[in-house]
């Protein structure tokens, strides 16, 4: 191949790479999946919550659950970073609150409304590698951050008191930086594609419904019903639209069972099926002092599982969680793993405080 042909081929390859990057700056925009659950309450009972309003983070999965809320509270959740093996007892230890964590979600709840912040995506990759069949060292750098500010509202129909509706309005903002280079010798690098440094802003919306009776609750939600991400130098993109429906049966005031399913719309479904249960113990005691104010305490145990096909334990995510409530203070914990391998578990914690 002559030098002209070589230069032409190199230019053509660079243009194709650049155009591909322009049309697809980030591989996929599918964020509302069970693996990204932000609430340990939700995670503990099977990975999705469409029907249970006793969750500070309920607007994430179904904003209609806010319709019954009459108090004010705020809560935050985080994922525990721990590469070492932990037993279940060690994972529940309160000292984990002092270990390194990945922030997941913050929400402020008021009567039938909520304001929330979430880092939807936070990916940082910086690595050296050798492509297959090549001894030339390459470097890949990829840094992508997408944050979400969300406001949620819910209401009940006065005529049909069992029916509630709610919606989430989301504002998204983020930045992408990516670069790929190869090292031809210790002092020379060749950029394989132009440096990408771009910002994005977007909007999205969810719509949720619930219908409740004394024993049964049915919940439904469409996530990212309308969405748009506008890049400064790339084509505008939409988030992956998903839909979910769930059912809850209240055995008694302290024990409930639930089942849900979630899938994509207009694409290969990737449907997941979720099952869970909740058991509560509540007790009170008369306080000491002049006012003799009663103290209310609550202990909750949650368990569940979810999967795409339940084809073998290695394809099933098992979940387990617990929570403790003391008057206005609340702490919750949950874990999930594939195939009952505790050493591969992911852990979520949350702390909540009621204001009134």
pTM of the model: 0.81
Distance of CA 311 to the CA centre of its chain: 24
Phi, psi of 239 (to 5 degrees): -75, 155
pLDDT at residue 211, as a whole number: 95
- Of 219, 261, 218, 217, which is closest to residue 242 (Cα–Cα)? 261
Query: Where are the strands (E) in the chain, listed by range?
Result: 73-80, 101-110, 113-129, 137-156, 163-185, 188-191, 196-212, 216-231, 242-252, 255-264, 272-286, 294-307, 316-326, 329-338, 346-354
Please state, in angstroms and rounded to a whole number, the distance separating the CA atoms of residues 30 and 161: 34
pLDDT at residue 302, as a whole number: 96
pLDDT mean for each 10 residues of the chain (356 residues) = 43 40 63 90 94 93 93 90 50 45 88 94 83 78 92 90 95 92 72 84 97 94 95 91 96 95 80 95 71 77 93 89 91 86 80 84
Q: Which residues of 175-189 are buried (b: 16+ CB within 10 A; e: fewer)?
A: ebebbbbbeeeeeee
pLDDT at residue 300, as a whole number: 95
Quick check: 156 and 67 in contact, CB under 8 A?
yes
Ordered domains of the chain (ranges, CATH): 3-354 (2.40.160)
Exposure of 300 in the CB half-sphere (CA atoms within 13 A): 28
pLDDT at residue 291, as a whole number: 53
């Amino acid at each position: 191949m002559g030098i002209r042909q070589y230069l032409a081929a190199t230019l053509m390859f660079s243009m194709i790479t650049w155009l591909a990057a322009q049309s697809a700056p980030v591989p996929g925009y599918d964020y509302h999946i069970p693996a990204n659950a932000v609430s340990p309450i939700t995670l503990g009972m099977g990975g999705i919550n469409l029907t249970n309003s006793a969750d500070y983070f309920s607007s994430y999965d179904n904003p209609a659950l806010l319709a019954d809320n009459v108090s004010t509270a705020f809560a935050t959740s985080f994922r525990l970073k721990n590469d070492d093996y932990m037993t279940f007892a060690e994972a529940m230890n309160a000292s984990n609150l002092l270990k390194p964590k990945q922030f997941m979600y913050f929400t402020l709840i008021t009567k039938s409304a909520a304001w929330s912040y979430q880092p939807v995506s936070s990916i940082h990759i910086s690595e050296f590698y050798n492509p297959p069949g090549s001894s030339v060292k390459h470097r890949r750098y990829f840094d992508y951050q997408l944050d979400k500010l969300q406001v949620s509202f819910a209401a009940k129909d006065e005529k049909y008191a069992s029916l509630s509706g709610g919606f989430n309005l989301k504002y998204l903002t983020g930045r992408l930086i990516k670069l790929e280079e190869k090292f031809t010798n210790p002092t020379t690098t060749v950029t394989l594609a132009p440096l990408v440094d771009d910002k994005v802003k977007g909007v999205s919306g969810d719509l949720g419904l619930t219908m409740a009776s004394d024993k049964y609750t049915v919940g439904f939600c469409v996530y990212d019903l309308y969405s748009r991400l506008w890049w400064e130098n790339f084509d505008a993109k939409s988030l992956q639209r998903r839909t979910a429906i769930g059912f809850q049966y209240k055995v008694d005031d302290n024990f409930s069972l639930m089942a849900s399913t979630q899938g994509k719309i207009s694409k290969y479904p990737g449907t997941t099926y979720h099952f869970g249960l909740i058991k509560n113990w509540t007790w009170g005691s008369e306080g000491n002092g002049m006012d003799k104010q009663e103290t209310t305490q609550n202990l909750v145990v949650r368990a569940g599982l979810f999967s795409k096909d339940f084809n073998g334990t290695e394809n099933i995510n098992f979940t387990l969680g617990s929570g403790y409530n003391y008057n206005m203070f609340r702490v919750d914990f949950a874990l999930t793993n594939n195939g009952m391998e505790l050493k591969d578990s992911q852990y979520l914690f949350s702390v909540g405080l009621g204001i009134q």
